[in-house]
Amino acid sequence: MTVTFEPRCHRPPLPEARGPVSEGLLATLRRSAVPARASSVNLVPDPYGDDLHLALYVLYELHYQGFDGVDDDWEWDPGLLALRRNLEGHFLGALRVDAAPDTDAASILDTLLIEPAGHDPHSVSHHLQRDGELWQFREYAALRSLYHLKEADPHAWVIPRLHGTAKAAMVAVEYDEFGAGRAEGIHAHLFAELMRDLSLDATYGFYLDNAPAEALTTVNLMSLFGLHRSLRGALVGHFAAVETTSSPGSRRLAEALRRMTAGVAAQRFYDEHVEADAVHEQVVRREVVGGLLECESELDADVAFGVRATGLLEDRLASTLLNAWREDRSALRTPLPEAAST
């Protein structure tokens, strides 16, 4: 099967600023001006706020796809790296306090296996499965596209930092995420097809300006963990949390799309994750996490931190979405146009 649409063939444009730090950074990238001073981060008191996280997202994106008209050499500019380090310090410092683990990694992961007996009022997938409307699912997909169109890329950074059983198992799971050698099976491609079925623009980075800070934090967390070898344990914890919760959540989302009579391609993305991630969960827990801690037992607290930080930020995003939807309003900074009728 030939892939006829590739959302990452073109670089996205730079987004619009959301405050003084992102404004200074974007001005630097647009005009090749003097880099924004690292001290300017003091203007951003909120470690989970729009300005800080848009700036972080842009800085991280220089390591992925880059931006239209922005020179590749900015990726390793010392001034931008100093700014990024300062922003990361605010974000990571808040996470260390708010997501501090109170037990070991295995125990925290065990709690993720417990499904609620009924409808979970705090869960986006439960809401979409039972009561959600198509316009809400379209908003959810638009926000998730910031990660899913580069799905598995942030986690791939941990591969050279693992060894033995953990490395082999991580590569095996990532191989599936990247389509098992078939371009049409790459999970990012499947998500692009989902978006097109939902009358969304599947161009890489298209919905960045629509995304609230709560959505940006979930993507930035992966990049933060992935770009720092010292946080390799936290990245493994993040990966384990995602794989542990993916299968049941994907089942609910697939059922929601069937109830909404969405297209086959939209359903396929989540159907693919129901079976695959049920297997991945076991491999990740026993071989990736287990293999890592067998060699580096001192990273147990870091793995636990990665799990807790993932849950914290996902809960914040869920609260933002559900609060808006229950008031029958858009959760996006700029609402989507209505889907084209078929």
Domain at 214, CATH number:
1.20.910.10
Q: Note whether 47 and 158 are same-domain residues.
A: no
- Tokens linked to 272: 């693919």
Q: Print the domain residue range for 91.
A: 20-98
- Whole-model pTM: value is 0.94
pLDDT per residue as tens digits for the range 39-66: 566 666 799 999 999 999 999 999 999 9
Handedness of CA 203, 325, 317, 258 (dihedral sign): negative
Separation of alpha carbons 290 and 171, rounded Å: 15
Residue 99 to residues 9, 147, 304: CA-CA distances in angstroms? Answer: 37, 22, 9
Q: Give yes or no: residues 227 and 86 share one domain.
A: no
Q: What is the pLDDT of residue 124?
A: 97
In three-state secondary structure terms, 40 is helix
Looking at residue 342, its pLDDT comes to 45
Q: How far apart are CA 8 and CA 203, in angstroms?
A: 7
Contact 142, 207 (CB under 8 A): yes
Say if 276 falls within a structural domain.
yes
Residue 178 phi/psi, 5-degree rounding, is -95, 20
Residue 6 lies in a domain: no
Residues 159 and 261 in one domain: yes
Task: Tell me, yes or no, whether 44 and 90 share the same domain.
Answer: yes
Same domain, 153 and 294: yes
Query: So what's the pLDDT on residue 274?
Result: 84
193 and 46 housed in the same domain: no
Q: What is the pLDDT of residues 136-184, one digit of tens each?
A: 999 999 999 999 999 999 999 999 999 999 999 999 999 999 999 999 9
Question: pLDDT over 90 for what percent of the chain?
Answer: 82
Q: What pLDDT was estimated at residue 289?
A: 97
Residue 15 in domain: no
How far is it, in rounded angstroms, from Cα 295 to Cα 303? 13
Buried b (16+ CB within 10 A) or exposed e, 284-299: bbebbbbbbbeebeeb
Domain count across the chain? 2
User: Quick one: 296 and 321 in the same domain?
Assistant: yes
CA distance 239 to 222: 9
C-alpha dihedral sign at 115, 116, 117, 118: negative
Give the pLDDT of residue 181: 93
pLDDT at 283 (0 to 100): 93
Q: What is the pLDDT of residue 49?
A: 97
Between the alpha carbon of residue 47 and those of residues 54, 91, 118, the distances in Å are: 11, 5, 34
Domain limit, last residue, from 47, 65, 98: 98
- On whether residue 3 sits in a domain, the answer given is no
Contact 251, 274 (CB under 8 A): yes
Helix or strand or coil: residue 186? Answer: strand
What is the structure's pLDDT at 6?
A: 76
Are residues 227 and 88 part of one domain? no
d(Cα 118, Cα 121) in Å, to the nearest integer?
Answer: 9
210 inside domain: yes
Instruction: Assess if residue 142 is contained within a domain.
Output: yes
Measured in degrees and rounded to the nearest 5, phi and psi for residue 186 equal -60, 130
Q: Is 9 within the bounds of a domain?
A: no
Which stretches of the chain drop beneath a pLDDT of 70? Answer: 1-5, 32-44, 116-118, 277, 340-342
Kindly state the tokens that stand for 217.
């934090």
Q: Which residues contact 193 (CB under 8 A, 6 or more apart)?
A: 5, 202, 265, 266, 268, 269
Q: Which long-range contacts (CB under 8 A, 24 or more apart) does 253-258 make?
A: 253/125, 253/128, 253/129, 255/129, 256/125, 256/128, 256/129, 256/132, 256/137, 257/137
